[in-house]
Amino acid sequence: MKFGIIGTGVVGTALAVRLEKAGYECVGVNTRTEESYKVFRKYLNKGHYSLESLVPKADMLFITTQDGVIQQVAKELTSRGLIIPGQLWIHCSGSLGSQVLRAAEDAPVKCLSIHPLQSFANIPEAINLIKGTHFGIEGEAEEVAERMVRDLGGIPHRLKTANKSSYHAGAVVASNYLVVLASLAVKLFAQAGIGSQEALQSLIPLMKGTLHNLEEIGIPQALTGPIARGDCAVVRGHLQHLLPQQAALYRLLGKEALELGQAKWQQAGLLYPVDALKELEDLLSS
């Protein structure tokens, strides 16, 4: 299949490179700046075209601009009559539904969202990481999307259109908030007298160990620590030494941990200690 790219950022460029390697044909690109096109040309030598020239060449049109511009591009294509019946319009946003591409209800195009569930720092890294990446797919022509993702070496997952925001929120919690949790942990180490850089260097192996446990034994077995053990005294001590804002976040996360702790005991055929459960519920609710 032939495809065109509108917006040659990290994701658009990496997808173009990997799709070409998988046997798809990139017929050209359209991007706002000359600089962006020059960067793209370093990885794939394809022509830069006006929208009027690019759109008719493609079976699939990737709109890989920033999220806030995707719908604007779809509206521009529609208002300018750049509609090819049966053409597949694709965006790669994790938070937006595929229907943001349908600027006119009767437009005879198919709308699809293909979101790589990965954090791409730059183009070379993105090109290398796409193989093995999980993708959330949603919209029309999902069979085409699944085949394309597998051709890229990825793993496709169909999403419920109405709940796509839940999927993206989960990705944010797992990726972005991991950095936030690391930052909070560094601040807590600082209160104990350990400098920021030294704290981060000491925490990363711990976090890697936890990720390894998640990969090897999953949830809830990977949960360790005082709540997993039912150790009320340790949790009480933590709360006594945390600043109010830190304690509030600790309690919110602790409630989730308490549910996992009970599930871990249950999977082992045991009952979470009743007295500890009641005390921890009180500690984490106050």
116 and 209 part of one domain: no
Instruction: From residue 148, give the alpha-carbon distance in Å to each of 15, 31, 81, 255, 257.
Output: 11, 23, 27, 40, 38
123 and 254 belong to one structural domain: no
Q: Are residues 62 and 197 in the same domain?
A: no
Give the total number of structural domains in the chain: 3
Q: What is the residue range of 188's domain?
A: 164-213
The CATH number covering residue 79 comes to 3.40.50.720
Among 116, 143, 159, which residue terminates a domain? 159
pLDDT in tens, 92-146: 999 999 999 999 989 999 999 999 999 888 999 999 999 999 999 999 999 999 9
Is the same domain home to 53 and 179?
A: no
Q: Which strand ranges, in their side-by-side order, compose the sheet holding 110-116? A: 25-30, 2-6, 60-63, 88-91, 110-116, 134-139, 155-158
* pLDDT score of 286: 76
Asked if 38 and 7 sit in the same domain, the reply is yes
Q: What is the SS3 assignment for 3?
A: strand
- Within this chain, do residues 12 and 119 fall inside the same structural domain, yes or no? yes
The closest alpha carbon to 92, from 20, 8, 184, belongs to 8
- Give the span between the Cα atoms of 271 and 259, in whole angstroms: 13
- Regarding whether 269 and 205 lie in a shared domain, the answer is no
Sort strands 134-139 and 110-116 into parallel, antiparallel or unpaired: antiparallel
Q: Please indicate, yes or no, whether residues 224 and 202 belong to a single structural domain of this protein.
A: no
246 shares a domain with 129: no
Tens of pLDDT, residue by residue over 216-242, are 999 999 999 999 999 999 999 999 999
Evaluate if pTM is beyond 0.85. yes
Q: Domain ends where: 178, 213, 248?
A: 213
Terminal C-alpha separation, the chain: 59
Q: Which amino acid is at 111?
A: C
Q: Which residues contact 69 (CB under 8 A, 6 or more apart)?
A: 7
Instruction: Walk along the chain (286 residues) and give the pLDDT tens digit of each residue.
Output: 999 999 999 999 999 999 999 999 999 999 999 999 999 999 999 999 999 999 999 999 999 999 999 999 999 999 999 999 999 999 999 999 999 999 998 999 999 999 999 988 899 999 999 999 999 999 999 999 999 999 999 999 999 999 999 999 999 999 999 999 999 999 999 999 999 999 999 999 999 999 999 999 999 999 999 999 999 999 999 999 999 999 999 999 999 999 999 999 999 999 999 999 999 999 999 7
Task: Please identify, among 142, 159, 176, the residue that sits at the C-terminal boundary of a domain.
Answer: 159
Q: Verify that 204 and 154 share a domain, yes or no.
A: no
Q: Are residues 143 and 15 in the same domain?
A: yes
Distances (CA, A) of 262 to 223, 247, 256: 11, 22, 10
Which helix (DSSP H) or strand (DSSP E) does residue 137 occupy? strand 134-139
Residue position matching structure tokens 């040309």: 41
Could you tell me if 253 and 284 lie in one domain? yes
Listing DSSP states for 51-87 in one string gives HHHHGGG-SEEEE-S-HHHHHHHHHHHHHTT---TTP
Amino acid letter, 71: Q
